[in-house]
């Protein structure tokens, strides 16, 4: 019967011994006796105040604010939290007594070679396959048949084309750059939203030459701007994307009277293939739906 209490006491002693992990040590020669001592290192978050002696243990003190020690040590001073998060960096973890401040790239950027680089933007016709993180760039993919992306984005994936509801006309088939445009005869007669989407999709899907785009924008889109037509043309954007954005915005809000003259505007700025494409598509819609009254 005495065996169980004895075993219990022994097991208790074993747990106490194993629970107290001895700190790592470093060797130091006692200047008074010349004896080599094994001094305990200071814990993380602390630094050395006085070495151990033959009669005294190592003396340590806590790190002051904005300083740290990450490992057991015998440093006379804690390390300064030197990681400063500025510019395109933000704080992921603040400085503590046992760790330096941790920075990461801000939303929309990722780290490469110690620099924050803005995530790649997927251009129209391409959607986001994998969103970028603070450690990796955006992965883009070309939209497959039946899907589209009409904007430049680092967040949006390709979206499936819509199916026109009963009673609606497929004004413009979808492409990888725009959705299928659906509408009714009324949309063509009153210049409604679907008709404007039709024009925007047609323009977006057509490859226009840059000088002709600039001429169209300076002559019709920015016609109310200050200065002569030549100065307005010089002030027009020099890249296809911004020019196309201005044309899209104009189509979305232009008065009906201006939209009626769109074929003539395209012809006047020598955008002949765009004009022919527009007229051809309108004739196709008219043939398929003879009762429709077209705005143009």
User: Domain limits of the chain?
Assistant: 25-84+94-101, 120-160, 163-288
β-bridge mates for residue 38, sequence order:
27
Q: Which residue in the block uniquely carries the two structure tokens 């037509």?
A: 229
Q: Which residues contact 134 (CB under 8 A, 6 or more apart)?
A: 104, 105, 109, 110, 111
Q: How far apart are CA 94 and CA 62, in angstroms?
A: 18
Kind and range of the H or E element at 171? strand 169-172
β-bridge mates for residue 209, sequence order:
none
Residue 270: predicted pLDDT? 94
* 118-151: burial string, b at 16+ Cβ within 10 Å, e else: ebebbebbbbbeeebebeebbebeebeeebbbbe
SS3 127: strand
Q: Which residues contact 138 (CB under 8 A, 6 or more apart)?
A: 119, 120, 121, 122, 128, 130, 131, 132, 154
As a dihedral over the C-alpha atoms of residue 206, residue 207, residue 208, residue 209, rounded to 10 degrees, the angle is: -170
CATH of domain 120-160: 2.10.50.10
β-bridge mates for residue 25, sequence order:
40
pLDDT digits (tens, 9 = 90+) for 146-194: 999 988 899 999 999 999 988 888 888 999 988 998 887 777 777 778 8
SS (H, E, C) 224-251: CCCCCHHHHHHHCCCCHHHHHHHHHHHH
Q: How far apart are CA 87 and CA 79, in angstroms?
A: 24
Handedness of CA 18, 23, 28, 30 (dihedral sign): negative
- Judge whether 25-84+94-101 and 120-160 match in fold: yes
- CB distance 149 to 125 below 8 Å: yes
Full DSSP string of 60-106: EEE--TTEE--SSB--SSPEE------TTEEEEE--BTTB--EEEEP
**Going residue by residue through the chain (296 aa), what tens digit of pLDDT does each one get?**
333 343 333 333 233 233 346 789 999 998 888 899 999 999 999 999 999 998 899 999 999 999 999 999 999 999 999 999 999 999 999 999 999 999 999 999 999 988 999 999 999 899 999 999 999 999 999 999 999 998 889 999 999 999 998 888 888 899 998 899 888 777 777 777 888 888 988 888 788 888 899 999 988 988 755 555 555 555 567 788 888 889 989 998 998 888 889 999 999 999 999 999 998 988 888 887 777 777 66
Residue 206: predicted pLDDT? 82
From the list 192, 171, 292, the residue with the least C-alpha distance to 251 is 192
pLDDT digits (tens, 9 = 90+) for 67-94: 999 999 999 999 999 999 999 999 999 9
From the list 129, 153, 154, 132, the residue with the least C-alpha distance to 141 is 129
CATH of domain 25-84+94-101: 2.10.50.10
| Alpha helices by DSSP H, the chain | 3-19, 185-190, 193-204, 210-216, 229-235, 240-253, 256-260, 262-268, 272-288
Question: CA separation (Å) from 187 to 176, 237, 244, 285?
Answer: 24, 32, 23, 13
SS3 40: strand
């Amino acid at each position: 019967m005495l065996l169980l209490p004895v075993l219990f006491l022994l097991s208790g002693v074993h747990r106490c011994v194993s629970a107290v992990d001895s700190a790592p040590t470093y060797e130091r020669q006692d200047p008074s006796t010349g004896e080599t001592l094994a001094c305990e290192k200071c814990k993380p978050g602390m630094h050395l105040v006085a070495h151990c002696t033959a009669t005294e243990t190592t003396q340590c003190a806590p790190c002051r604010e904005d300083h740290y020690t990450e490992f057991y040590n015998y440093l006379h001073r804690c390390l300064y939290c030197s990681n400063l998060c500025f510019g395109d960096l933000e704080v992921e973890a603040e400085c503590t007594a046992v760790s330096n401040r941790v920075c990461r790239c801000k939303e929309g950027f990722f780290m490469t070679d110690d620099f924050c680089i803005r995530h790649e933007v997927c251009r129209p016709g391409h959607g986001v396959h994998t969103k970028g993180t603070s450690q990796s760039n955006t992965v883009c993919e070309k939209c497959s048949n039946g899907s589209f992306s009409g904007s430049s984005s680092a967040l949006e994936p390709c979206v499936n084309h819509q199916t026109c509801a009963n009673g609606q006309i497929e004004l413009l088939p979808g492409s990888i750059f725009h959705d299928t445009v659906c509408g009714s005869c009324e949309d063509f007669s009153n210049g409604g939203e679907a008709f404007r989407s039709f024009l925007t999709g047609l323009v977006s899907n057509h490859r226009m030459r840059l000088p002709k785009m600039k001429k169209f924008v300076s002559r019709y889109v920015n016609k109310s701007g200050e200065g002569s037509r030549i100065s307005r043309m010089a002030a027009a954007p020099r890249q296809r994307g911004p020019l196309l954005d201005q044309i899209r915005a104009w189509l979305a809000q232009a008065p009906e009277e201006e939209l009626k003259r769109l074929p003539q505007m395209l012809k006047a700025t020598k955008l002949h293939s765009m004009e022919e494409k527009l007229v051809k598509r309108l004739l196709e819609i008219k043939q398929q739906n003879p009762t429709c009254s077209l705005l143009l």
